[in-house]
Structure formats: structure tokens, C-alpha cells
Amino acid sequence: MKVAVLKGGISAEREVSLVSGAECAQALRGEGYKVVEIDAHPDRIADDLKAASPNVVFNALHGDWGEDGEVQGVLEQLQLPYTHSGVAASKLAMNKEWAKDIFALHGITVPQGRVAPRHEIAQGGLLPVPYVVKPNGSGSSASVYIVSHETEDLLASIAGDEGLGEVPVIEPFIPGRELTVSVIGGKSVCVTEILPRGEWYDYDAKYADGGSRHVVDVDLPEAVTQLALRNAETAHRALGCQGVTRADFRLNDVDWPENPSETDVVNGLVMLELNTQPGMTPTSLVPEQCLHRGMGFGALCRWMVEDASWPRRAQDRQKPRASAR
């Protein structure tokens, strides 16, 4: 069975994707698959895939074009079984404001922010400090600002940062703890707490050596653990996701009593976003959680290939056209 691994791409997360793709390709070769690696680009992706003629496409792209429904649309047109979520779910998850609205409709607590033109945010005064400014449609914590004081230099940086897009998200800063939950095939794995070396979980904390420490299956109040697992599954279903996703939360337990009430837990566990193309190296958060539950990196990559389908929709699903290795 031949698997085409898409990596690289054209987004600000290209370097991360190159690493994810190379690691996944190596793992799949170890599982007995014939693998071709494709440095994906919109101008040539269709021709490259036709030339490779794979049975399944493993999407290891991140960011714009690879994660927002665009490359998924190409794969649908080519009628190739592929991994991760389909067009609609990918597009919804990539738009943080749309996704938050859907999560809130399903009873999940989300930050009470909004989108606003970058030049308007840069004038200051839209929200009380501290607040967060971030792109509405990208990941990896690139171009994210924690505004604790509205200085002229910081507001000027926001005004000039094209990485934010024209209409970024602005929302209150949620104090507390950084948590994440992987969902595999619709079922939550466990809760990890992320302890960044710096003040918050920025790009360096995610990708630099020693940038953060992960506490897998962290010891939390049982009500918090169960709600995090449940909300991650609910969010996955609400957007129509498939395959693997990762839900990111902030737990605002700063002023909690020793025995928090149900209201404390529901209001304190705030969902930030759902990632439909989470990082895929052996030390990334999703593989780390799966390993903790006994599924090694190779087995996880194999599961994703076996889960691939076309059309990639929750309600009209077919298995890959060829299943023999």
C-alpha cells in the first residue's frame, strides 16, 4: 500500500510541518508501507499526487492552505482517501471565532472575545487589560500578543504585524493552567498539563528544546478531568471532525476553594480552540498521550492511515480504495 505524506506547505508553520511529515513518513515505513513524501504547494499538488498515485494521503500540513479546507478540497476532487478532518470541519476549526460560536452552542465555556480590525485594536481600549490578540486563522502561537499594558510600542507592533491578518481575535486573557486533550476516532485520550518555561505557551515554548514540560494524565479534580475529556469529544463532534484532533484549554482555578463547585468547574475550564492538524512528532502532545495509553508512534500513524477515507465526511464514509499493504 502506497501512502503519500504531504508536508511543508506555504504557511508560517512550514518548518513545523516539514518535521511532522518526515517523522510520520519514517514511522509509516517502519509499519511496512511504501511512502512517498511530497513537499506540497498549491501550484503543483494535483500533478504531484497524480504522479505518485497513492492509495492514501497522509496530511501532515499545518496552517493556511493545509489545515483550512483548501488542500482537503483538492483531495476530494482527486477522490483520494485522506487522513484528519474533511473540508467543512477543517474550515470551521481554522476560524477561531466560528468555532467558538459552535462550541458555546454546545455548552462549552469559551473566552468572551470578538474579532476586530487590526488598526482598531492598535488604537487600544477595546478590552480591559490583560487581553490576548491572535490571528483568527492560524496556529503554532505565531503572532500572538499578551497585552498587559497598552504601550505605544506594543500597539504599533500589533498594527504592523501582517501575521495577525486584517481582522484578528481579541479576547480576555485567561489566567491559570494550560491543558490539552487529544481525541482519536471520537474518543478522548487523557489530559496533559503544559508547563512553559516562560510566562506563557508561545511559539518557543511549543517547539524549542526545553521550551515546556508536559505532565501527561495530570492529577486534577475528577470533575475537571471528566469535563475536559467530555468537552474535547463534544467539540470534535460539533465541528464534524474525523481522525485525530487536539482540544486546548485554560483552567482558571486561581481563586478556587479547596472543593470547587460544579459551577466553578464549568466556568473555570475555558476552551481556546480545536486543532484538526496537531503536531505529529514522537514528542508532540498527541503522540505523547497515545504512548501513555500504550499506542506507540508507529501504531498511531498506522491507525490514521487505516482510518483514512473518501469522501471525508462523517455521514458518507467509505474505506480506502485499497487496503492491502
Q: Walk me through the domains of the chain, giving residue ranges and CATH numbers.
A: 2-84 (3.40.50.20), 93-110+174-275 (3.30.470.20), 114-172 (3.30.1490)
**3 state DSSP class of 3:** strand
Q: Cβ–Cβ contacts within 10 Å for residue 210, how many?
A: 8
Residue 136 grid coordinates = 483568527
Q: What's the pLDDT score for residue 209? A: 59
Q: How far lies 1's CA from each of 7, 222, 312, in Å?
A: 19, 43, 19
pLDDT tens digits along 50-67: 999 999 999 999 999 999
The rounded distance, in Å, linking the Cα atoms of 86 and 146 is 32
Q: Environment class of residue 219 by beta-carbon count within 10 Å: exposed (0-12), middle (13-18) or buried (19+)?
A: exposed
Alpha carbons within 13 A on the beta-carbon side of 65: 15
Q: What's the pLDDT score for residue 323? A: 42
Q: What's the pLDDT score for residue 53? A: 98
Active-site residues, by number, are 13, 140, 207, 246, 248, 273, 275, 279
Structural contact between residues 292 and 217, judged by C-beta atoms closer than 8 angstroms: yes
Q: Which residues pair with 244 in a beta bridge?
A: 184
Q: How far lies 206's CA from each of 80, 86, 152, 219, 277, in Å?
A: 32, 26, 28, 22, 15
**3 state DSSP class of 63:** coil
Q: What's the pLDDT score for residue 321? A: 41
Element (H, E) at 114: strand 114-115
Q: Which residues pair with 182 in a beta bridge?
A: 246
Structural contact between residues 118 and 158, judged by C-beta atoms closer than 8 angstroms: yes
Taking alpha carbons only, the member of 206, 189, 84 closest to residue 139 is 206
Q: What's the pLDDT score for residue 197? A: 79
For residues 10, 13, 14, 20, the Cα torsion angle rounded to the nearest 10 degrees is -140
pLDDT tens digits along 230-241: 999 999 999 999
Percent of the chain with pLDDT over 70: 91
Which residue stretches of the chain have pLDDT < 50?
A: 203, 205, 207, 316-325
Q: Which residues pair with 172 in a beta bridge?
A: 131
pTM of the model: 0.91
DSSP assignment, residue 111?
-
**3 state DSSP class of 42:** coil
The rounded distance, in Å, linking the Cα atoms of 148 and 154 is 10
> What are φ and ψ of residue 235, in 5° steps?
-65, -40
Q: What's the pLDDT score for residue 137? A: 83
Structural contact between residues 86 and 31, judged by C-beta atoms closer than 8 angstroms: no
Element (H, E) at 193: strand 187-196
Q: Environment class of residue 173 by beta-carbon count within 10 Å: exposed (0-12), middle (13-18) or buried (19+)?
A: middle
